[in-house]
Structure 1
Amino acid sequence: MGFPFVYCVVCGCPFDIPPLDETLEDRWASDDPLEDDTKQWLYGIRLIGTTSCLEQFATPPFRMPKNESSIEGFVVSEPAEWAITDGFYFRLGQDPYRVLAYADDSSDVLLPLHENCLSILRRALEWRDELAPEPHEPFPSLVGVYKALCAQFARNRAESRRIAEATGFYGTGDYMNYGMEFDHDYCGAREFWAFEGWMQTRANEWYCNDPVNIPGLLIFVLGLLTETTPEAGRAVGNANERPESAAVTGAPSLQATSCPFLEGLPFEIMSLIVSFLPTSSILSLRQCSKALASRLRANQQFWRIQLLRGSAIPFLWDLGGLDKRPRAPEEQDGDKLARPIESGCWDWKGLAKALVRSNAIMKADETSLASAPWGLRNRCRIWTLVNDILTLPVD
Structure 2
Amino acid sequence: MGFSFVFCVVCGCPFDIPPSEDALATDRWRSDDPLEDETKQWMCRIRLIGATASLEQFAKPPFRMPKNESRTDGLFVSEPADWAITDGFYFRLGQDPFRVLAAANDSGDVLFPLHENCLTILQRAISWHASFIPEPGPPLPSLVRVYKALCAQYARNVAEKARLSKKTGFYGSSDYMDYGLEFEHDYEGAREFWASEGWTPTVDNESQWYCDDPVDIPKLASFLSRQVQETIQSKAIATVDSAKEQIGTTVNVEVSMPDSTARSSLEALPLELWNQIIVFLPTTSAVLQLRQCCKAFASRIPIDQQFWLTQLREGRVIRYLWDLESLGETMDSQVNPMPSIDPAYRDWKSLAQKLARGSITIQADQESLESTLSKLWPLQNRDRIFRLAECLLKLPVN
Q: TM-score range by the shorter chain?
A: 0.7 to 0.9
Q: What is the aligned partner in structure 2 of residue 271 from structure 1?
A: 275
Q: Deviation per CA, 1:53-84, whole angstroms, max 9, x where unpaired?
A: 21211111211111111111111111111111
Q: What is the aligned partner in structure 2 of residue 320 from structure 1?
A: 325
Q: Which runs of 5 or more structure 2 residues have no equivalent in the other structure?
A: 258-262
For residues 158 and 164 of structure 1, do their structure 2 counterparts lie closer, same or farther at Cα, with a shift above 3 Å needed?
Answer: same
Q: What is the CA–CA distance in structure 2 between the aligned matches of 1:9 and 1:248, rounded to whole Å?
A: 49
Higher alpha-carbon deviation: 320-329 or 2-11: 320-329
Matching of residue 210 in structure 1 with residue 210 in structure 2: no
Sequence identity of aligned pairs in percent? 57
Q: Deviation per CA, 1:362-386, whole angstroms, max 9, x where unpaired?
A: xx7x979995621111111111211
Q: What SS does the aligned partner of 2:209 have?
A: helix
Matching of residue 385 in structure 1 with residue 376 in structure 2: no
Q: Deviation per CA, 1:168-218, whole angstroms, max 9, x where unpaired?
A: 001232100000000111111101111111103411111101001124634
Q: What is the CA–CA distance in structure 2 between the aligned matches of 1:55 and 1:341, rounded to whole Å?
A: 61
Q: What is the aligned partner in structure 2 of residue 280 from structure 1?
A: 285
Is the contact made by 2:69 and 2:76 (CA closer than 8 Å) also made in structure 1?
yes
For residues 263 and 200 of structure 1, do their structure 2 counterparts lie closer, same or farther at Cα, with a shift above 3 Å needed?
Answer: same
AA at the equivalent of 1:269: L
Is the contact made by 1:323 and 1:341 (CA closer than 8 Å) also made in structure 2?
no
Matching of residue 16 in structure 1 with residue 16 in structure 2: yes
For residues 309 and 87 of structure 1, do their structure 2 counterparts lie closer, same or farther at Cα, with a shift above 3 Å needed?
Answer: same
AA at the equivalent of 1:342: D
Q: What SS does the aligned partner of 1:323 have?
A: coil
Q: What is the aligned partner in structure 2 of residue 164 from structure 1?
A: 165
Q: Which runs of 5 or more structure 1 residues have no equivalent in the other structure?
A: 240-246, 251-256
Q: What is the CA–CA distance in structure 2 between the aligned matches of 1:351 and 1:133, rounded to whole Å?
A: 30
What is the TM-score normalised by the length of structure 1?
0.86
Q: What is the aligned partner in structure 1 of residue 91 from structure 2?
A: 90
Q: What is the aligned partner in structure 2 of residue 60 from structure 1?
A: 61
AA at the equivalent of 2:356: V
Q: What is the aligned partner in structure 2 of residue 375 from structure 1?
A: 378
Offset of residue 28 of structure 1: 6.4
For residues 203 and 258 of structure 1, do their structure 2 counterparts lie closer, same or farther at Cα, with a shift above 3 Å needed?
Answer: closer
Q: What is the CA–CA distance in structure 1 between the aligned matches of 2:84 and 2:211, rounded to whole Å?
A: 17
Q: What is the aligned partner in structure 2 of residue 253 from structure 1?
A: none
Q: What is the aligned partner in structure 2 of residue 46 from structure 1?
A: 47
Q: What SS does the aligned partner of 1:390 have?
A: helix
Q: What SS does the aligned partner of 1:324 have?
A: coil
Offset of residue 266 of structure 1: 4.3
Q: What is the aligned partner in structure 2 of residue 174 from structure 1?
A: 175
Q: What is the CA–CA distance in structure 2 between the aligned matches of 1:341 and 1:237, rounded to whole Å?
A: 13
For residues 264 and 70 of structure 1, do their structure 2 counterparts lie closer, same or farther at Cα, with a shift above 3 Å needed?
Answer: farther
Matching of residue 329 in structure 1 with residue 330 in structure 2: no
Higher alpha-carbon deviation: 343-352 or 191-200: 343-352
Higher alpha-carbon deviation: 318-327 or 114-123: 318-327
For residues 168 and 343 of structure 1, do their structure 2 counterparts lie closer, same or farther at Cα, with a shift above 3 Å needed?
Answer: closer
Is the contact made by 1:326 and 1:338 (CA closer than 8 Å) also made in structure 2?
no
Offset of residue 264 of structure 1: 5.4
For residues 216 and 134 of structure 1, do their structure 2 counterparts lie closer, same or farther at Cα, with a shift above 3 Å needed?
Answer: same
For residues 92 and 346 of structure 1, do their structure 2 counterparts lie closer, same or farther at Cα, with a shift above 3 Å needed?
Answer: same
Q: What is the aligned partner in structure 2 of residue 36 from structure 1?
A: 37
For residues 125 and 248 of structure 1, do their structure 2 counterparts lie closer, same or farther at Cα, with a shift above 3 Å needed?
Answer: farther
Offset of residue 9 of structure 1: 0.1
AA at the equivalent of 1:221: L
Is the contact made by 1:48 and 1:75 (CA closer than 8 Å) also made in structure 2?
yes
AA at the equivalent of 2:397: V
For residues 351 and 179 of structure 1, do their structure 2 counterparts lie closer, same or farther at Cα, with a shift above 3 Å needed?
Answer: same
Q: What is the CA–CA distance in structure 2 between the aligned matches of 1:206 and 1:324, rounded to whole Å?
A: 28
Q: What is the aligned partner in structure 2 of residue 296 from structure 1?
A: 301
Q: What SS does the aligned partner of 1:112 have?
A: strand
Q: What is the aligned partner in structure 1 of residue 346 from structure 2?
A: 346
Offset of residue 109 of structure 1: 0.7
Q: What is the aligned partner in structure 1 of residue 260 from structure 2?
A: none
For residues 24 and 311 of structure 1, do their structure 2 counterparts lie closer, same or farther at Cα, with a shift above 3 Å needed?
Answer: closer
Is the contact made by 2:309 and 2:344 (CA closer than 8 Å) also made in structure 1?
no
AA at the equivalent of 1:280: S
Q: What SS does the aligned partner of 2:156 have?
A: helix
AA at the equivalent of 1:11: C
What is the TM-score normalised by the length of structure 2?
0.85
Q: Deviation per CA, 1:7-62, whole angstroms, max 9, x where unpaired?
A: 00000000001223225456962311111000000011011110012121111121
* Residues paired across the two proteins, number: 372
For residues 383 and 162 of structure 1, do their structure 2 counterparts lie closer, same or farther at Cα, with a shift above 3 Å needed?
Answer: same
Q: What is the CA–CA distance in structure 2 between the aligned matches of 1:156 and 1:263, rounded to whole Å?
A: 58
When the two chains are superposed, the root-mean-square deviation of aligned CA atoms in Å is: 2.9
Is the contact made by 1:6 and 1:15 (CA closer than 8 Å) also made in structure 2?
yes
Q: What SS does the aligned partner of 1:157 have?
A: helix
Q: What is the CA–CA distance in structure 1 between the aligned matches of 2:256 and 2:135, rounded to whole Å?
A: 28
Is the contact made by 1:326 and 1:341 (CA closer than 8 Å) also made in structure 2?
no
Q: Deviation per CA, 1:239-296, whole angstroms, max 9, x where unpaired?
A: 9xxxxxxx9998xxxxxx983xx65544333322212322222112112111011111
For residues 345 and 109 of structure 1, do their structure 2 counterparts lie closer, same or farther at Cα, with a shift above 3 Å needed?
Answer: same
Is the contact made by 2:251 and 2:346 (CA closer than 8 Å) also made in structure 1?
no
AA at the equivalent of 1:306: Q
Q: What is the aligned partner in structure 2 of residue 117 from structure 1?
A: 118
Offset of residue 107 of structure 1: 1.8
Q: What is the CA–CA distance in structure 2 between the aligned matches of 1:175 and 1:45, rounded to whole Å?
A: 23
Q: What SS does the aligned partner of 1:305 have?
A: helix
Q: What is the CA–CA distance in structure 2 between the aligned matches of 1:277 and 1:387, rounded to whole Å?
A: 21
Q: What is the CA–CA distance in structure 2 between the aligned matches of 1:287 and 1:21, rounded to whole Å?
A: 56
Q: What is the aligned partner in structure 1 of residue 4 from structure 2?
A: 4
